[in-house]
Structure 1
Amino acid sequence: MDRQPRQEQPLLTETRESALWGYEEIFDAFPLQPQPQQTEAWNDTDGAVFGSHITNYDASPPAPAVSESKRGSVPALLWDVLKWWQIEIFACLASVAAIVAQAVVMLRFNGRPQESWPSTTLTLNGLIAILATLCRGSLMVPVASVLAQSKWTRFDSRSRRAHKLAEWELLDEASRGSLGSLQVLWKFKGVLHVSCIGAVITIASLALSTFSQQVVSLQSILVPATDGDTLNKTASVPWTDSPNVRVWSAGEFGSMSTVVKLAIIEGIMAPDVASLPLSCPTGNCTWPDFTTVGACGRCVNITEDVRFTQSTLSETYTLPNGLWVGRNPVATTAANETLGFSANITQTTRLFDPVRSPNPKYERALALAEFAMLGFENLRWQGGPPVAFECGIWLCLQARRVSVTAGQQTDKVIESWTKVDVRIGTPFIDMPSPPFVGHEDMYFWATREPSVSLESFIQPMLNGNITLSGTPPSPVFSSDYIQALSANLGDPSQWIGRLAESTTNGLRQMGPYKNTTLAYDGEAHVVQVIVVARWHWLAYPAVLVLLTVIYLVFEITRTTTSNTRPWKADPLVPLYAYLDLDRNVLSAARDGLNKPSGLSAELGDLAVRLDVGYDHGVRFSGRIAVDGEVAQGRS
């Protein structure tokens, strides 16, 4: 069958005096609803008056379709809304789904180890970033459409107000990005305008990805090791329930263990005492508070009890217990000064006096050493009066707290106890629990025999003196232990603390008397990185999404009740007014104004060109496409 030759159909009106819309021919072909004549002036927002508008017809898009939709049922109205706004509604739902997905992912992995994340390609942060990007991309679809639609509803003829065309351009630019949104906020500053909501959302959405990234946080915590019971049991700490037979060497009764001896000597001589090494294979271990027998010590300043006497041949400072320090003031060749350290103290001294002393009380059966010291700081007589202290060290029950964190060991006494029953072998009694803990068959003792042995070893080391003689005077120490004491004469509290701690270390290394377990078992821990959800950072994108939903619903409602359609950013709608076309084509195009993308369907195949002339200004003209081929435009 032969095809008919293609007929070119003219699109341009041959005789048209109008340089713009050519309403006269259009109105002849498409009669509109008659409108009453209006003679009143229209005012814009700034108060400028436009010329009187006098016409018998309204050149706005055809109103019958609006009236039909309004007269229809609610389902029909909803269907009409869905047809126009389906992309925006689906995009809004996608942004909500992205926020919900972020919350579900964080809820699923919150508090779980980082290794529980199943993917080795995509990280948790990567997934959150993808969801945040999807959220923002979906969010901007309805916001941009609503901003674009704002220019139509603002210039709606039903408002009976005119606005400057600059506002049309401003709202159109706002739908394209943040710069236009900033211009809208500046234009409507101080004015409550609905377009400002869209502008705020557009600008605020720039920070949405940043806030979403802050939702995920990683935190290092310690968790029990899971490599088996053997590993956990190796986390142990030494303790003892009694300084009893274990204090003695296996070879000979009455001979103290060298472990305890070395511990006491270290406490007297060393400038620092290290904590007892703990077994912790992972470098992070914890133990419950445990109880052990140890040593406690304290020094009390008794300088106020020093008495000074002077004669022709001597100057002497004396304590009530008889300890003294003095010199010969008339010596011409050498000074002769003596500083005393003595254990020969009486039962009425300040440290152990149950009436005068504020210190913890204990039975004298627990004492390992009680002594006084009297002398001058820096071993200089001319430095002022001497200082005097009473010190003691005794057996006590200790509640201790130990831990190892990142290889750093902590071992401290949280409370000590000295109450014993001397009638049945000095067991510790009436300990509060907590912090003192133990098993039902566990007893803590401080028997007299090891106490006497410890006292006989410590006491002689703390008895002696220092003599200053010669010119210039130089000190002569009666023993190395006295030399160590003299270095701490100014404040012996730290020194007595080191001696007590070191003695405790020696006793703990001997192990328990009745139990075979030489160490108090603890629990080894390993460092584990877990996922922590910081929910407050998710509030920002959630608020933006909620605000967008409200903004979209508001604009849908406003457009439905206006005399416009949801043309949004359709570029063919404003071009429609400038198309110099045949009236039949305009008839079909006019019907397309009432359908989503209707103008694109009716005019999309037109080939047009932009004509610029002094007689008709700027306009598009062209010819219809026939059989898929575009006819030549008119020159």
Structure 2
Amino acid sequence: MYAHAGFQKQRGLLACVVGISPPSANSPFEWRWELLSLAFSVGCMISIVAILFTFQDRPQSEWRGGSLSITGTLAIFSTSANMAAALAVGACISQYKWLHFRKAPHQLSDLDLLEEASRGPLGSLTLLTKRPRGLASIGAVVTLLALGFDVFVQQTVSFEPRDVAMDDGNATLGLAHAYDSGATRIGALGTILNVAPSTMDLAMQGAVFRGLYNLGSPAVFNCTTSKCQWNSTYYSLGYTSSCADVTEATIRLHPNASATWNSSSPGRREVDMNLTTPGGIRLAAPFSHTSWQTVVSVNATSLSKENGVSVNADGVRLMSPDIVRIGVFRVPVDIINFAITPANMTIFECDIALAAYKYSNLSSSGQNLTVGKLDTIRLDPGLLTDGENTTAAAHITFNQTGLPLMTVSASDIAGLQLLFTTSRFSGRIYEGLSGIPDQGTGDAFRSGDIAQTMHAMADSMTNQLRSTYNVAVRGLSFVPVVFIDVEWAWITLPLVVQLISITFTVIIIIQSARTAGLPLWKSSTMALLTYDVQFRDDEDDVGRLGSGIRSPKELEALAKSWKARLELPGQT
């Protein structure tokens, strides 16, 4: 004897009208929508990977998606891939509930549990936390993992600004292969090394004083971006200084050292001390006991006029690159005795000469130019050629192996010699009640390293020469460009979600095909309405789910041919 729950009478009538067809075998075609959705999901994932591979480490500007950015495009593909995979997984979880009850008796509440799990993350979480159920737990896990699908896909892409080197003409480096400011000579003098004072190069004279007083130099490069670079090797004409401490040698050359510097010796209180360096520079350093003293004495002599011009065996006139020799005398101030003794004096000789500079690996950052390697090359004597007329400047040509041809105006060299040997540069400064006016640039040598001060002056003169840009070379300017950076680790979760979804779907398809007579109801609500539970007294209250509908076609026919109305308890 049977006890019934459900619509047994109606189902019997249905069997008479429609007929009960034999169970049909499942075919992959009946899973076509799930398989198509998985294929679509895989296609979207392939598109995502292809986009990432294509635009990895490429400028963002190369993306040609119109108003849709690369992240927006990835979001569309990832959302589509996630939703398509979720469709297949949800159908498989729903189908599994029929497999679940086919294998063994289970609580009827599992129907609701599995059906809720097929509808989204909340039901899947409930399934995993309350009563995990076989293969359905795999579907629930992948449903929960899919929550991070879109986020992880978008995390694969980041945008990193990088400096890109471009030869756009916005990076130029100033060099000098010639020095000719237009200075002329006084023809009446009849000499090559002379200059008309009104035509002297005032900019170069200013560079001398800027270097001495650390007043900066003109720009020798142009870079319109924050960083530029010049990777080749470059040569430029410039100036160099070489200094030596000649204090002891100068003291030994003094004719009456002991009498002059003995402060207790009788005679005049004022001492006109005159020193001569080994290089022939005369340095006067007078002082008066207890009254005043010389602090710094500077003097210079022209080298080219004395020994710079020579004639070789072929009768060709050559000129040395040496320009001037400068002597500097310095003593600290003795505010009590104002006496000068050998123990406290310092004497330097420095030669200023033309030279070639070899620059390598230059770069700029802001207003600063960094030279990776700098070599100073001494020039051999150059060919001296006269001007076209008595006032035109003569020129010195340096044609040295390994260097570009370099030329210098002899009148410009004469102008520098004139500057260094006059009171605008040479002279003395005093301390105390001397009443003698200071002259020259002695203040620049009061303190600090004398050789370093001379080196700074030569650098300033070189920079002034280079700032004329009579040779300009192009470099690379670095422009900030936003690049697409791909972090592949983030793609792991989306790939795992797809792999599990495919595996889970295939397993459910195979198990459904192997279960004889099991219709592919999946998540059909109509299928649930056609089932009832039958109980037998001899089966320990284990009911049997049964349906007179054997195929989806019969279920479809039922849905189209019958109508229903909801009746609540107590209503007729």
TM-score normalised to the size of structure 1?
0.58
Contact 2:321 / 2:381 at 8 angstroms: preserved in 1? no
* Aligned-partner Cα distance in 1 for 2:65–2:129: 47
* Aligned-partner Cα distance in 2 for 1:156–1:238: 89
Match of 1:520 among 472, 479, 485: 472
Mean Cα deviation higher: 169-178 or 447-456: 447-456
Contact 1:418 / 1:428 at 8 angstroms: preserved in 2? no
* Aligned-partner Cα distance in 2 for 1:192–1:327: 110
Q: What amino acid sits opposite 1:519 in the alignment?
A: V
Contact 1:285 / 1:525 at 8 angstroms: preserved in 2? yes
* Aligned-partner Cα distance in 1 for 2:244–2:97: 89
Is 1:291 the counterpart of 2:242? The answer is: no
Map residues 354-393 of structure 1 onto 2, 5 A cutoff: 365-366=321-322, 374=330
Map residues 324-473 of structure 1 onto 2, 5 A cutoff: 331=290, 336=292, 338-340=294-296, 342=298, 365-366=321-322, 374=330, 394=353, 395-399=355-359, 408-420=366-378, 422=380, 427=398, 442-444=404-406, 454=416, 457-458=419-420, 465-469=428-432
Percent identity of paired positions between Structure 1 and Structure 2: 20
Report the equivalent of 1:59.
none
Mean Cα deviation higher: 254-263 or 448-457: 448-457
Map residues 471-486 of structure 1 onto 2, 5 A cutoff: 478-479=438-439, 481-486=441-446
Report the equivalent of 2:177.
241
* Aligned-partner Cα distance in 1 for 2:172–2:114: 74
3-state secondary structure, aligned to 1:422: coil
Match of 1:555 among 494, 497, 508: 508
Question: What is the CA deviation profile of residues 110-156 of structure 1, one whole-angstrom value per residue up to 9, with x for unaligned ones?
Answer: 67766665565444443333223222222221222233334444444
Is 1:207 the counterpart of 2:148? The answer is: yes
Report the equivalent of 2:530.
576
Query: What's the CA shift for 1:403?
Result: 6.2
Q: Which structure has greater strand proportion?
A: 2
* Aligned-partner Cα distance in 1 for 2:40–2:139: 18
> Structure 1 residues 277, 574: closer, same or farther in 2, change over 3 A?
same
* Aligned-partner Cα distance in 1 for 2:229–2:352: 29
Question: What is the CA deviation profile of residues 254-311 of structure 1, one whole-angstrom value per residue up to 9, with x for unaligned ones?
Answer: 3342232222222223433342353x6889876553321223458899999999x997
Is 1:81 the counterpart of 2:38? The answer is: no
Report the equivalent of 2:125.
182
Contact 1:184 / 1:196 at 8 angstroms: preserved in 2? yes
Map residues 497-512 of structure 1 onto 2, 5 A cutoff: 498-509=456-467
Report the equivalent of 1:58.
none
Is 1:261 the counterpart of 2:205? The answer is: yes
Map residues 45-64 of structure 1 onto 2, 5 A cutoff: none
Query: What's the CA shift for 1:183?
Result: 3.5
> Structure 1 residues 87, 602: closer, same or farther in 2, change over 3 A?
same
Report the equivalent of 1:137.
83
* Aligned-partner Cα distance in 2 for 1:99–1:568: 26
3-state secondary structure, aligned to 1:416: strand
Is 1:99 the counterpart of 2:84? The answer is: no
> Structure 1 residues 421, 261: closer, same or farther in 2, change over 3 A?
closer
Question: What is the CA deviation profile of residues 15-65 of structure 1, one whole-angstrom value per residue up to 9, with x for unaligned ones?
Answer: x973525889989999xxxxxxxxxxxxxxxxxxxxxxxxxxxxxxx9974
Contact 2:217 / 2:463 at 8 angstroms: preserved in 1? no
Question: What is the CA deviation profile of residues 535-590 of structure 1, one whole-angstrom value per residue up to 9, with x for unaligned ones?
Answer: 6255543443333223322332343334655433223344433499xxxxxxxx94
> Structure 1 residues 172, 500: closer, same or farther in 2, change over 3 A?
farther
> Structure 1 residues 126, 251: closer, same or farther in 2, change over 3 A?
farther
Map residues 161-172 of structure 1 onto 2, 5 A cutoff: 168-172=111-115
3-state secondary structure, aligned to 1:271: coil
Q: What amino acid sits opposite 2:76 in the alignment?
A: I
Map residues 153-164 of structure 1 onto 2, 5 A cutoff: 153-157=99-103, 160=104
* Aligned-partner Cα distance in 1 for 2:246–2:500: 76
> Structure 1 residues 218, 416: closer, same or farther in 2, change over 3 A?
closer
Q: What amino acid sits opposite 2:150 in the alignment?
A: S
* Aligned-partner Cα distance in 2 for 1:164–1:300: 105
Contact 1:387 / 1:490 at 8 angstroms: preserved in 2? no
> Structure 1 residues 506, 136: closer, same or farther in 2, change over 3 A?
same
> Structure 1 residues 427, 415: closer, same or farther in 2, change over 3 A?
farther
Query: What's the CA shift for 1:607?
Result: 0.6
Report the equivalent of 2:139.
198
Query: What's the CA shift for 1:249?
Result: 0.9
* Aligned-partner Cα distance in 2 for 1:96–1:249: 80
Report the equivalent of 2:388.
none
Contact 1:113 / 1:528 at 8 angstroms: preserved in 2? no
Report the equivalent of 1:607.
564
Report the equivalent of 1:18.
3
* Aligned-partner Cα distance in 1 for 2:172–2:10: 102
Mean Cα deviation higher: 456-465 or 259-268: 456-465
Structure having greater relative contact order (Cα 8 Å, sep ≥ 6)? 2
3-state secondary structure, aligned to 2:472: strand
CA-based RMSD of the aligned residues comes to 5.6
Mean Cα deviation higher: 553-562 or 459-468: 459-468
* Aligned-partner Cα distance in 2 for 1:386–1:145: 101
* Aligned-partner Cα distance in 2 for 1:235–1:568: 70
Q: What amino acid sits opposite 2:522 in the alignment?
A: K
> Structure 1 residues 82, 306: closer, same or farther in 2, change over 3 A?
farther
- Unmatched 5+ residue regions in structure 2? 187-191, 252-257, 266-274, 302-319, 338-342, 384-396, 535-545
3-state secondary structure, aligned to 2:219: coil
Equivalent pairs counted in the alignment come to 485
3-state secondary structure, aligned to 1:411: strand
Contact 1:267 / 1:499 at 8 angstroms: preserved in 2? yes
* Aligned-partner Cα distance in 2 for 1:176–1:545: 18
Query: What's the CA shift for 1:525?
Result: 6.3
Q: What amino acid sits opposite 1:139 in the alignment?
A: A
Contact 1:223 / 1:528 at 8 angstroms: preserved in 2? no
* Aligned-partner Cα distance in 1 for 2:124–2:244: 77
Match of 1:127 among 73, 76, 86: 73
- Unmatched 5+ residue regions in structure 1? 1-15, 31-61, 70-76, 227-231, 346-363, 432-437, 512-517, 581-588, 614-633
Contact 2:184 / 2:411 at 8 angstroms: preserved in 1? no
Query: What's the CA shift for 1:417?
Result: 3.0
Q: What amino acid sits opposite 2:115 in the alignment?
A: D
